[in-house]
Structure 1
Amino acid sequence: MHIVSGVVGPDVIVFPTKLMLMPALAIAALWALRGSFDTSTATRAASVLFVALAFSWLGDGAGFFFPFLDDELPAMLLCFGLAHLAYILLFLRFLPRRAVPRWTLGYVVWWVLMVAVLWPSLGTLAIAVALYGLVLGGTAVAATRGGAITTAGGAFFLASDTILALRLFLPDQTGLLAGPWVMLTYTIGQGLLAYGIVRLLREEPR
C-alpha cells in the first residue's frame, strides 16, 4: 500500500503508511517468536532485533519525530546507523551460523565506488556519509553469517540505501521511480532480515 501510494497516490496516505511499516514488522516478528524466549540468549537476540526495528522506525519518520531540527538528514543517518549497528551485533554476537564468504569483498568495492561518486556532492557531510557507508556495508557483510535469507536481506537493505544516497546527493541524475525503488528494496530487505532472524531464533535449542 505504501509503495503503490507513492507511485499513483493518494499522497495523503504515503507518510502514515511509511510510519506503519516497522511497527507492523515488529508485531509480526513478535508473533512469530511466541514461545521462543525460553533462553536468555534468544531473549537478548530478539531484543536486539526489536531495537534495530525501533531505530529504523525513527529513521523512517525522522522529520516527524525530530521536528525541532532544521534538517532531518543527520537524525535519519544517526537512527539508521544505530539500526545497522544493532543488526551487526546480532549477527556477530548472537547468530553467527557460518563464516563470512570471500565474495563479500565486493562490498569493499561498492564502498569505494560510492564514496568516489558521491564525494564531490557531500560537502560537510562527506566524512559522516563515508563512515555511514562502512556501517551499511558492515550490515551486508555481517548478514551473510546468518544464512541465505539474511544475506539477501542485507543485500536488499544495502541496495535501498544506495538508491537513497544517489537520490539525495545526485538528484538530477535519478529517475522518477527512485523513491518507490528505495522503499521497495527497503521493505524487502528489512522483511528478509527479520524473517531470517526469526527462523534462526526458532531453531535455537531450548
Structure 2
Amino acid sequence: MKTTVNSIRGAFWAVAALHLIAIAADLGPLQFGTKVLLMPLLAVWVWARRGPRWVIAALLASAAGDVALEFDGLFIAGMGCFALAHVCYVTFFARSTRPRWGVTLIYGVIWAVLIVLLWSRLGDLQVPVAAYSLLLTGTAATSSWYGTRTGFGGALFLLSDTLIALRLADVQVWGDALLVMITYIAAQYLLASGAVIRVTNRV
C-alpha cells in the first residue's frame, strides 16, 4: 500500500513537472492534458492516505474548475467550481481547529486593499471577483489556523489567484502563466498534505 501511495504522489509531481515544461515551451495540447490530471491525482493520493473528505471534495471541485477555465465562455463556471473548493477548504479547516483572529484580520485587510485597487479595472467581473476572492481569503485565513504547512499553502493559493486577478485587470506580470501554476500546484499540495499529515503524522 505504501508503494502505491508513493507512486501516486510521484505521478502527481511528474505530471506537474511536465505541465510546467509545457507552459515554458508553449506546448498547448500538453498543457491541457497535464493540467486536467493534476488535481484528480492529488485527490486520489489524499483518498489513498485516508485523508479528509472535505479536502478530497475541494480537490475534485478544483479539477472541475481547471477543466472549465480551459474553454472560452466558461470562466464564471470555472470560478464557481473554485468557489465550491474554497467552501470545502474553509469548512474543513474552520471545523478542525481554533480561530486565530489576528491572522484573519490581516488577510481581511489584504482582501480589502486588493479589491479597492483592482475594482475599477474589473468591469463586469467586479462582483464575481470580489465574492470569489473573499472565499479564497477565507481559505488562506482558516488554513493558517490549522498549521504552518497548510497556512503556507493557503497563502500561495491567494498569491496564485491574485496573479490571475491582475491579468483580468490588464496588469501585466512577467512570466505570470508559469508563476500562477507553480504557486497553484504548490498551494494545493501543501493544503492537501498538511491536512493528511495529522492522520498519519507523516507525508
What TM-score results when the alignment is normalised by the length of structure 1? 0.83
Partner of 1:30: 47
Q: What is the alpha-carbon distance in structure 2 between the residues aligned to residue 123 and residue 174 of structure 1? A: 17
Partner of 2:66: 60
Partner of 2:176: 178
Structure 2: gaps of 5 or more residues: 1-17
Q: What is the alpha-carbon distance in structure 1 between the residues aligned to residue 121 and residue 26 of structure 2? A: 31
Q: CA deviation at 1:63?
A: 4.7
- Per-residue CA shift, 1:144-170, capped at 9, x if unaligned? 121111111111111111111111222
- Per-residue CA shift, 1:18-38, capped at 9, x if unaligned? 0010011112212222xxxxx
Q: Which residues in structure 2 correspond to 1:66-105 (within 5 Å)?
A: 71-93=73-95, 95-96=96-97, 98-100=98-100, 102-105=102-105
Structure 1: gaps of 5 or more residues: 34-44
Q: Which residues in structure 2 correspond to 1:1-206 (within 5 Å)?
A: 1-33=18-50, 46-63=52-69, 71-93=73-95, 95-96=96-97, 98-100=98-100, 102-170=102-170, 173-202=171-200
Q: What is the alpha-carbon distance in structure 1 between the residues aligned to residue 99 and residue 117 of structure 2? A: 31
Q: CA deviation at 1:12?
A: 2.3
Q: Secondary structure of the residue that 1:110 maps to in structure 2?
A: helix
Percentage of pairs with the same residue:
37
More contact order relative to length (CA 8 Å, sep ≥ 6): 1
Q: CA deviation at 1:127?
A: 1.6
Q: CA deviation at 1:176?
A: 4.2
CA contact (8 A) 1:101 1:144 kept: no
Q: CA deviation at 1:175?
A: 3.1
Q: Secondary structure of the residue that 2:52 maps to in structure 1?
A: helix
Q: Aligned letter for 2:47?
A: L
> Structure 1's 63 and 190: CA in aligned 2 closer, same or farther, altered over 3 A?
closer
CA contact (8 A) 2:19 2:31 kept: yes
Q: Aligned letter for 2:128?
A: A
What TM-score results when the alignment is normalised by the length of structure 2? 0.84
